[in-house]
Chains A and B, each alone.
Chain A
């Protein structure tokens, strides 16, 4: 057994060796970003993909430590991003345009889905089959919900008199129940949020989409504050890539994605029907994603012409004198979008599983 003797020479030798190891062997310290990210609403079928990507390590491998928070509506999400409470988040396109027109410093970085699924929902056995059947009916609406202000636009395009409908303003917590209980004949809402609630609780329902009447309604967009996007474009690029890698995995592997989501957010699976709720939401979300824009240009690409039409819609129905019509190029860019693509056979497979969900929409 050798005995180590500490001498001045040994000490200097050890110091030199340690210094040399430090110079040669020290690994490069990877850049890490801590990103505060807000959803537009509660985590559900349409917004679980960031959790899935986090579980899969898509953010970590790009040096992003993503802190995901639930949202309280698209307007609140947009406001909290603009005020710096969050760095980035998900906001529905129409409220995003409204907030940009109000002067909030926001940038749209990519488009998640191409139909917000705004529309009018009815129970499956309702006699309301076409928009014209809504005349004189009692319709529940959540004034703060993205689709609510555009009911008049829908009525105009679907050629019925909106003033003949009896609108009832209710909170998001009760709207589906008012329909289920027969207190109202129909409701306005986002199909991918409300249909899962109704169907997973055993109430068959269907949706008449605003988009079917010709209203341009892109769904969620990835949004950052102007400051966040301009100060660190490298982060914006990495974040958008990680989010769409997450989305690609989610839409290509819905069952595995749901498992990962429930692992990440166990409380989301506590209620009866939670799995069905998420499955239906994810299915409807896939319907909104499998569109030519994404198939042709890659996930995240948004057509500026559609955003232009959404801007016209917002200015027509929500415009106030203090608002200035924003030019799309000033607040939206596809610069970071379109890097994540799915192969044609993947799109075919996704499309093959959508029949069940498409038949809920008209």
Chain B
């Protein structure tokens, strides 16, 4: 049986994809607004949604500056995470020795609660952007590597046999057969990396920064300006979505290219 949201009609799909989440969101915001006003909660403790909206007045340019700093570093961290993740995936897929040597260690490495290591990056790499970007890469490259490795190993067995029979080199097989099969997996990992890299940069900004949305949040908190904290968090959502849109768009283009359309 088809789920209710897959009714197949335009109206049915729009209802479930757009109307229902919108109405739910509005109801939640309405309840939030009502509760804060009805119980006379101080905006320092919990601002109402309308108070948050009004707080945007006059801070747009400032927030845009901090968003640009966070977005720029997130993008760089995301891009480098993808490069590092893909290169490592190729290396570990090509060599059994490298795989045996590094893969178990990388898994153990990933089990470490990485948030605990965030301050260490400041000790190791200083208080400039290098430490924030390195930390973001540190938490982001693994999903890309893992997904890519998984994809490389899922190539069609018959296609691989064909490559072998026609004498294709290991590199030719890797780039012409295994890589296209791995692309959907890569994009899954890249989407995770996109969110992780933004989180990594903001975590780094909470620890050491002179600008960026993480810094803005800390400063607003220190002045008891809770509505501005929420403003920054909303902008951060937009920045996160913008970074996330990159692998989503890239995947759509790759699919179109793969289908030849």
Chain A neighbourhood of B119, CB < 8 A: 171, 173-174, 177
Chain A neighbourhood of B155, CB < 8 A: none
Chain A positions near chain B (C-beta within 8 angstroms): 75, 79, 82-83, 98-99, 102-105, 140, 143-145, 148-149, 167-171, 173-174, 177-178, 181, 183-184, 318, 320
- Complex: A186 Cα to B122 Cα, angstroms: 16
Chain B neighbourhood of A170, CB < 8 A: 122, 127, 207-208
Q: Is the CB of B127 within 8 A of A143?
A: no
Q: Is the CB of B123 within 8 A of A181?
A: yes
Q: Is the CB of A82 within 8 A of B45?
A: yes
Q: Is the CB of A103 within 8 A of B223?
A: no
Q: How near does chain B come to A324, taking the closest CB pair, in angstroms? A: 13
Q: Which of B44, B123, B126 has the most CB of A within 10 A?
A: B44
Q: What are 17 inter-chain pairs, A to B, with CB distance below 8 A?
A: A75-B221, A98-B224, A99-B44, A102-B44, A102-B224, A103-B42, A143-B222, A145-B222, A168-B208, A168-B210, A169-B215, A170-B207, A171-B207, A178-B122, A181-B123, A183-B127, A184-B127
Q: Is the CB of A173 within 8 A of B221?
A: no
- Complex: A174 Cα to B121 Cα, angstroms: 10
- Complex: A98 Cα to B44 Cα, angstroms: 11
Q: How near does chain A come to B65, taking the closest CB pair, in angstroms? A: 15
Chain B positions near chain A (C-beta within 8 angstroms): 41-42, 44-45, 119, 122-123, 126-127, 206-210, 215, 218-219, 221-225
A171 nearest CB neighbor, chain B only: B207
Residue in B207, B209, B223 whose beta carbon sits within 8 Å of that of A98 in the complex: B223
With A104-B45, A174-B207 given, is the CB distance from A144 to B122 under 8 Å?
A: no
- Complex: A82 Cα to B44 Cα, angstroms: 10
Q: Is the CB of A169 within 8 A of B209?
A: yes
- Complex: A75 Cα to B225 Cα, angstroms: 11
A79 nearest CB neighbor, chain B only: B45
Chain A neighbourhood of B44, CB < 8 A: 79, 82, 99, 102-104
With A83-B45, A99-B44 given, is the CB distance from A169 to B223 under 8 Å?
A: no
With A103-B42, A103-B44 given, is the CB distance from A320 to B127 under 8 Å?
A: no
Q: Is the CB of A320 within 8 A of B126?
A: no
Q: Is the CB of B42 within 8 A of A183?
A: no
Residue in B45, B126, B208, B224 whose beta carbon sits within 8 Å of that of A171 in the complex: B208
Q: How near does chain B come to A25, taking the closest CB pair, in angstroms? A: 48
Q: Is the CB of A149 within 8 A of B123?
A: no
Q: How near does chain B come to A30, taking the closest CB pair, in angstroms? A: 34
> Told that A75-B221, A174-B208 touch, could you supply 7 new A-B pairs with CB distance under 8 A?
A99-B44, A145-B222, A169-B208, A169-B218, A171-B122, A171-B208, A320-B223
- Complex: A105 Cα to B123 Cα, angstroms: 40
- Complex: A171 Cα to B202 Cα, angstroms: 13
- Complex: A75 Cα to B221 Cα, angstroms: 8
Q: How near does chain B come to A314, taking the closest CB pair, in angstroms? A: 10
Q: Is the CB of A143 within 8 A of B215?
A: yes
Chain B neighbourhood of A83, CB < 8 A: 41, 45
Q: How near does chain A come to B205, taking the closest CB pair, in angstroms? A: 9
Chain A neighbourhood of B224, CB < 8 A: 75, 79, 98-99, 102
Q: Is the CB of A167 within 8 A of B210?
A: yes
